Amino acid sequence: MIDRNEIETFLDEYIAIGVPHSIVPDKLFFYFGYLRYIDKEEIKIETNNGFKIIPISQIYDIHKARGKP
């Protein structure tokens, strides 16, 4: 599992967040956006269409995404 401290290094950066896919087993679904907020249990990213709140316990992958500055 990814630790909150590891996620904090990406604050205000354009990132990709991988969570378990709801239809395809053993695959990740990625959300792309700017990491705007982190607390003990969840994060908030700003996407092109608004904001998405994701529980930290569901995050299996996080990395800087290409395509946006």
What is the tens place of the pLDDT at every residue in 35-62?
Answer: 999 999 999 999 999 999 999 999 999 9
pTM for the whole structure: 0.89
Domain boundaries, the chain: 4-64
**Burial class (CB within 10 angstroms; exposed 0-12, middle 13-18, buried 19+) of 19:** middle
Q: Which CATH architecture is the domain 4-64 placed in?
A: Roll (2.30)
Q: What is the pLDDT of residue 45?
A: 97
Q: Give the per-residue pLDDT at 61.
A: 96
28-38 vs 61-64, strand pairing mode: unpaired
Q: Are the C-beta atoms of residues 12 and 44 closer than 8 Å to each other? A: no
Q: Where residue 66 falls among pLDDT bands split at 50, 70, 90?
A: confident
The average confidence (pLDDT) of the chain is 93
Positive or negative CA dihedral for 40, 28, 53, 15? positive
Q: How far apart are CA 69 and CA 56, in angstroms?
A: 24
- What pLDDT, on the 0 to 100 scale, is given for residue 67? 75
